[in-house]
Amino acid sequence: MLHGGGAEAAEIAKQRLSRRRFLRRSMLAVWGVSTTASVAGALYMLYPALSGQFGSPQTVGKKGDFQAALPDKSVINQAGVFHIPAARTYLVHLAKDTQFLLSGEDLKGQLDSELVLQDQDGSYWIALYQRCVHLGCTVPFHGECGSFKCPCHGSHYNISGEFIEGPAPRSLDRFQITFEGENIVVNTGVQNDHVPHPDATTRLIAIPRAECA
């Protein structure tokens, strides 16, 4: 047992020790919070799908929100072609009577390879990436010529995204599209970016005759 000065010195040492423990725990807590924030930030950058933003599956609406149309009767955001900015997508919904240049197994194989999905009612759905495959400009849809024409260097694509003319090295890229009941899901994390220039054996839809403005 300590008496007098010895007891006092022991008490001071005890207080110093608990102050040091408090400081150490505080520093560990601060480090833990900043580490958690850094890890969360890194995960967000590495795996955008976790955020539910572009780069992940997006429910863009219900089938009934997007009226089907023939290629030459399509009007942006009214029938046939709908711009979905959050998904950076043009959702194309073609009527079941759409005239294709191919038929039978050739048509089926080409639809599959271009991620064109046929619905139970016979209509066709395509989710085209809005970005021009030349140098990345956003490509507007031109109703007067039923096709997409890039304002930057003139690349021209038909309503199903197939290359027509210009410096673009391939047809427009497209995303996987699926149905969940009546909902349409565009998976902006699954992209087909290798649809080549079409030729007579692969072109799906005839080049529109009308000139773009």
Q: Which of 100, 172, 187 is nearest to 132 (CA)?
A: 172
DSSP annotation of 22 reads: H
Q: Which is nearer to ligand FES, 17 or 135 (CB)?
A: 135
Write the CA distances from 103 to 90, 110, 156, 160, integer angstroms: 25, 10, 25, 16
Min separation Cβ 167 and ligand FES, Å:
5
- In whole angstroms, the minimum distance from the beta carbon of 152 to ligand FES comes to 4
For ligand FES, which residue of 100, 166, 189, 190 counts as binding (CB under 6 A)?
A: 166
Question: Whole-number minimum distance, CB 154 to ligand FES, in Å?
Answer: 6
Q: Which is nearer to ligand FES, 168 or 195 (CB)?
A: 168
What's at 24, amino acid-wise? Answer: R
Tell me how far apart the alpha carbons of residues 36 and 51 are, in angstroms, rounded to a whole number. 16
Residue with tokens 């038929």: 103
Counting every residue, how long is the chain? 213
Nearer to ligand FES, 52 or 167 (CB): 167
Dist CA 60 CA 117 (whole Å): 16
Q: Would you count residue 155 as binding ligand FES (CB under 6 A)?
A: yes
Judged by CB under 6 A, the chain residues 111 through 150 that form the site for ligand FES are 132, 134-137, 150
Site residues, ligand FES (CB under 6 A): 132, 134-137, 150, 152-155, 166-168
